[in-house]
Structure 1
Amino acid sequence: MAPEPGGVTLVYRLATSGKKILVLERGPFLPREKANWDTKTVFNSDRYHHPEVWYDRNGKEVHPGMSYFVGGSIPRSMVPPSFASGKRTLKPTPTRMASPPPWPLKYRDFEPYYVEAETLYQVHGQSGEDPTEPFRSQEYPYPAVSHEPRIQEISDILRGQGLHPYHTPVGIRLNEAQRYLSECIRCNTCDGFPCLVHAKSDAEVSVVRPWMGQANVTLLTEAKVLKLLTSPSGRAIDRVEVEIRDPESGAVQVQQFSGDLVAIACGAINSTVVMLKSANEQHPQGLANSSGLLGRNFMKHVLGSVIGVSKQPNPTAFQKTLSINDFYWGEDGYDYPLGQIQTLGKVSKEALEGNAEAYAPLTPEQVASHSIDWWLTVEDLPDPENRIRVDGDKIILDYTENNTEPYDRLEQRWIEILKSIECGQEIMPNCSYFVGAGKTYTGKLPLDGVGHQVGTCRFGEDPTTSVLDLNCRTHDIDNLYVVDGSFFCSSGAVNPTLTIIANALRVGDHLLDRWK
């Protein structure tokens, strides 16, 4: 069950083993159509987003805008092609609020798999620019994506102020040396858009297509897993109950499948939901929940954006190339982590038009043509009271934001810097980033924004304090693995995708050894 990159990356690793593998994908292949690059379709409709409704702890509706397509629950239609430096996730650091728990495995255990993940997903970057970068045994497999002139100018100005801007590592199929061979055309419909020319290094392109057609791998689309059924002892998964939708007629039928091993990668929220809904006599609180931690310690990052408008035009098309980690570990007078800053995909007039009043007296066209757009990522902290619950068919995000001060400080600090370099004559809210059901946000992303969901099935050696063992197998059920972001113990202020992919490759090697 693999509606997240971890699942299909695991299949990629196991496909050559000769074992028969059934892949159950909740959604279809993402349609390839002109609307992929239509701003209003992508950001103001449910064409590429599931209209499902979840709920917060007070019963208020949450519209997560999830995208269920082959290769990921938040695929190329939502996730920017930025892997940032996901490795920083593994180094929890005390905050003013709390000290995140240490990871049972260290960076050195994951580093070889990060290298492989960067090659597999064609990550472009340049080592040595980011002063917070951890050790790496190899250079990035592909050169950094160059800045366009206005972004290069900003990078030079920031460096002149003593900061250390660096090229954002991005997974993209771009050949700048031989543009006629490049799948990527460096367009302005990248960040947040499906890629019509399949130039993003998403999971479908990178790891699904290579195993399609192999005789031992079967892909079943529009197959939503309802529950997992255990053996009488409760120590093994016997069958998987699946709702299958016929794409032509829309008819739905329920079938059961069985296998020697079951790996789920439905995303930290939906994997928890499946396990909670699979409660039975042997597992009355949900599968693999003897620790009581299933669904707890849910994290999603504290996220937001800032639009800085300057007098100088910004004609940049592909803007997502610059990052700053100078405040990642804190700043003078504040010895706690703040977070990461990076450029967003360039906002457009069309994206801003639906909220024109937010930009008055400027017009959406004036804002879009003169802005540089920034994304802020701040970690949130593992808290057992932040959890995923189910009430019948309702999915409840029982969550309270717990690391607000660093976000507020980082946002204010960055606004001050933008004004000091004449990139903040006007500071505007970004009211264009889609979070489901036509809903937008101002500044900080609301609970609806769960693209970075992690932490709900923590891994560890002690079955009383973790759901999964070090190989991401559940402590309580011998043949059940979870290979999405659920295993995280903490969540550094970077996109978690690269760590999820690297971990899937690591778990794949464990399974290959197990099968020998």
Structure 2
Amino acid sequence: MSTNNHYDVIVIGTGAGGGTLIHRLAQTGKQILVLERGPFLPREKDNWNTKVVFNSDRYHNQEIWYDKDGNELHPGMSYFVGGNTKLYGAALFRLREKDFEKYSHRDGISPEWPLKYQDFERYYIQAEKLYQVHGQSGEDPTEPFRSEEYPYPAVTHEPRLQEIHEALQAQGLHPYHTPVGIRLNEAERYLSECIRCNTCDGFPCLVQAKSDAEVTGIRPVMRQNNVTLLTEAKVLLLHTSPSGKEVTEVEVEVQGEIRTFSGDIVAIACGAINSSVLLLKSANDKHPDGLANSSGLVGRNFMKHVLGSIIGVSKKPNPTAFQKTMSINDFYWGEEGYDYPLGQIQTLGKVSKEALEGNAEAYAPLTPEQVATHSIDWWLTVEDLPDPNNRVRVDGDKIILEYTENNSESYDRLQTRWIEILKAIECGQEILPNCSYFVKGGKTYFTGKLPLDGVGHQVGTCRFGEDPKTSVLDLNCRTHDLDNLYIVDGSFFCSSGAVNPTLTIIANALRVADHLIQRIK
């Protein structure tokens, strides 16, 4: 091992949490070491190649994890500077005020958070400014309080989506513009970095117009003298002092060489799964069950949302390119006759025939091209309840996700309800005569549920709280058991809500950064 190198702060991971934390801490002038297990994602034509992006591991890791029954999982994780945000859809929602409170679901209780919405609101504002979020307040009846308007205007619907927007309003619903973090200037397109293409949601952005953690957080500070970025640097273990009260060394494999570093502060931001894996693998005599695990909760209460898609095919073509502009929260807290929350609906990035060709038989007698050119594509998000039996576990080098889905009834009800509404607006406008397409009586709605491999919304494995017996982190996301160890990703969530977690991860990273700035002064 090489001689130790000491830093004021070591940050492990450069995704939504780590990238944001680094951006804020860089202003302090303190010496910061950034460790990222992956390289920079290459800018190449394949960034926009649907077959490469969706049918290969070019932009996902090739790890194999395992489920509770020993079956192989191929996780949809991206190990690059910027983490999973390199391929995310850039939908940046706030949790609702009630998401921070205790309330009942069909399958159990969503617990109260130790901090409330008002504790995060000013950081939501900062996060929206930093990640250039485009949105419009006042459209969504479930929208939480805002102290400021969105920093950028909402991304407009293309004509076909505007028709759907108006048809939904005619049904008494409240569609609103999805808040998205993109570098778009619709007023002066020639100045816009974003070109409103159809290769955004799920793709790397070749023109770097998506507000991911690399473009927004890392690149603006990576050349500062006080910031040292090491890529292809996989952290293997955290070593502690003899007392076990602090992390003294970070053991890293850097491009095949084992090196160690030390820091006054160590912040883990590897994502809720890999942060837990690192803590569990770093077990020692003082921490026999893994670092920061005196509560026994490290890795437990893993949540990933109950997620799925609806591809709705209509007779009228849908030439929309940038489709991810509409969301509906009318069923977020339930509906008449059902007192439990259902979830959120939003448009997906537009599907293409290339994306569907790998499973062409599922759409027969329609062809992938017929489906893609006439479909409107939707994404459903239902809250995943915390369950201590849903956990991340390690067995040697094996990563195991022990997970049983909950709230399935709520998901099925939301899916059925949404298809009924789509049929009503389609048939009502005679876009779909007799609710059929090219083939009379043919299937026009294709549904799919995201399997366990899809872990893009991972949260909850090291929840925060005031009691060390019932939480892993304190309110500043410092581990209860080690004085200089923090976790700054989605691990701290107490519940998952029913919207994408990324903006809350970003806002919390800014909140923790303010605490650390005061500490390292």
TM-score range, shorter-chain basis?
over 0.9
State how far apart, in whole Å, the 2-side matches of 1:81 and 1:93 are: 28
With the length of structure 1 as denominator, give the TM-score of the two structures: 0.95
Whether the 8 Å contact between 2:86 and 2:214 is mirrored in structure 1 is no
List, as ranges, runs of 4+ consecutive aligned residues in structure 1 with deviation greater than 2 Å: 84-93, 423-430
State how far apart, in whole Å, the 2-side matches of 1:316 and 1:275 are: 45
Aligned to 2:27: 16
**2:356 pairs with 1:346:** no
**2:460 pairs with 1:455:** yes
Aligned to 1:55: 66
Of 478-487 and 58-67, the range deviating more from structure 2:
58-67
**2:105 pairs with 1:95:** yes
Whether the 8 Å contact between 1:226 and 1:243 is mirrored in structure 2 is yes
Aligned to 1:4: 15
Whether the 8 Å contact between 2:277 and 2:392 is mirrored in structure 1 is yes
State how far apart, in whole Å, the 2-side matches of 1:39 and 1:254 are: 37
What letter is aligned with 1:210? Answer: P
Aligned to 2:490: 485
What letter is aligned with 1:338? Answer: L
**2:92 pairs with 1:83:** yes
Whether the 8 Å contact between 1:51 and 1:65 is mirrored in structure 2 is no
Whether the 8 Å contact between 1:288 and 1:475 is mirrored in structure 2 is yes
Fraction of identical pairs, as percent: 76
**2:477 pairs with 1:472:** yes
State how far apart, in whole Å, the 2-side matches of 1:92 and 1:270 are: 28
State how far apart, in whole Å, the 2-side matches of 1:255 and 1:444 are: 42
State how far apart, in whole Å, the 2-side matches of 1:268 and 1:253 are: 26
**2:300 pairs with 1:289:** no
Whether the 8 Å contact between 1:87 and 1:498 is mirrored in structure 2 is no
- CA RMSD, Structure 1 to Structure 2 (Å): 1.1
Of 415-424 and 181-190, the range deviating more from structure 2:
415-424
Correspondence for 2:211 among 186, 201, 208: 201
What letter is aligned with 1:509? Answer: D
Whether the 8 Å contact between 1:211 and 1:217 is mirrored in structure 2 is yes
- Residue 87 of structure 1 deviates from its aligned partner by 4.7
Whether the 8 Å contact between 2:102 and 2:109 is mirrored in structure 1 is yes
- Residue 428 of structure 1 deviates from its aligned partner by 3.6
Secondary structure of the residue that 2:103 maps to in structure 1? coil
Q: Report how many residues are paired.
A: 496
State how far apart, in whole Å, the 2-side matches of 1:33 and 1:92 are: 47
State how far apart, in whole Å, the 2-side matches of 1:344 and 1:458 are: 30
Correspondence for 2:314 among 310, 314, 333: 310
Give runs of aligned pairs for residues 137-176 of structure 1, distance below 5 A.
137-176=147-186
- Residue 253 of structure 1 deviates from its aligned partner by 1.3
Aligned to 1:380: 384
Whether the 8 Å contact between 2:94 and 2:124 is mirrored in structure 1 is no
State how far apart, in whole Å, the 2-side matches of 1:28 and 1:227 are: 20
State how far apart, in whole Å, the 2-side matches of 1:339 and 1:392 are: 37
Residue deviations 1:345-386, cap 9 Å, x none? 110111111111110001111100110000000011000010
- Residue 93 of structure 1 deviates from its aligned partner by 2.8
Residue deviations 1:140-160, cap 9 Å, x none? 000000000000000000001
- Residue 91 of structure 1 deviates from its aligned partner by 4.2
Secondary structure of the residue that 2:108 maps to in structure 1? coil
State how far apart, in whole Å, the 2-side matches of 1:85 and 1:459 are: 19
Secondary structure of the residue that 2:264 maps to in structure 1? coil
Whether the 8 Å contact between 1:415 and 1:427 is mirrored in structure 2 is no
- Unmatched 5+ stretches in structure 1: 246-251, 431-442
Aligned to 2:221: 211
With the length of structure 2 as denominator, give the TM-score of the two structures: 0.94
**2:432 pairs with 1:427:** no
Aligned to 1:508: 513
Secondary structure of the residue that 1:7 maps to in structure 2? helix
State how far apart, in whole Å, the 1-side matches of 2:96 and 2:290 are: 31
Q: Structure 1 pair 92/378, CA: closer, same or farther in 2 (3 Å)?
A: farther
- Residue 429 of structure 1 deviates from its aligned partner by 2.9
State how far apart, in whole Å, the 2-side matches of 1:182 and 1:81 are: 17
- Residue 343 of structure 1 deviates from its aligned partner by 0.5
State how far apart, in whole Å, the 1-side matches of 2:16 and 2:122 are: 18
Aligned to 2:277: 273
Whether the 8 Å contact between 1:3 and 1:26 is mirrored in structure 2 is no
What letter is aligned with 2:115? Answer: L
Correspondence for 1:261 among 243, 260, 265: 265
State how far apart, in whole Å, the 2-side matches of 1:513 and 1:35 are: 44
- Residue 5 of structure 1 deviates from its aligned partner by 1.2
What letter is aligned with 1:81? Answer: A
**2:413 pairs with 1:409:** yes
Secondary structure of the residue that 1:375 maps to in structure 2? strand
Secondary structure of the residue that 1:49 maps to in structure 2? coil
State how far apart, in whole Å, the 1-side matches of 2:57 and 2:289 are: 34
Aligned to 2:3: none
State how far apart, in whole Å, the 2-side matches of 1:255 and 1:42 are: 33
Aligned to 2:8: none
Secondary structure of the residue that 1:175 maps to in structure 2? coil
Whether the 8 Å contact between 1:276 and 1:285 is mirrored in structure 2 is yes
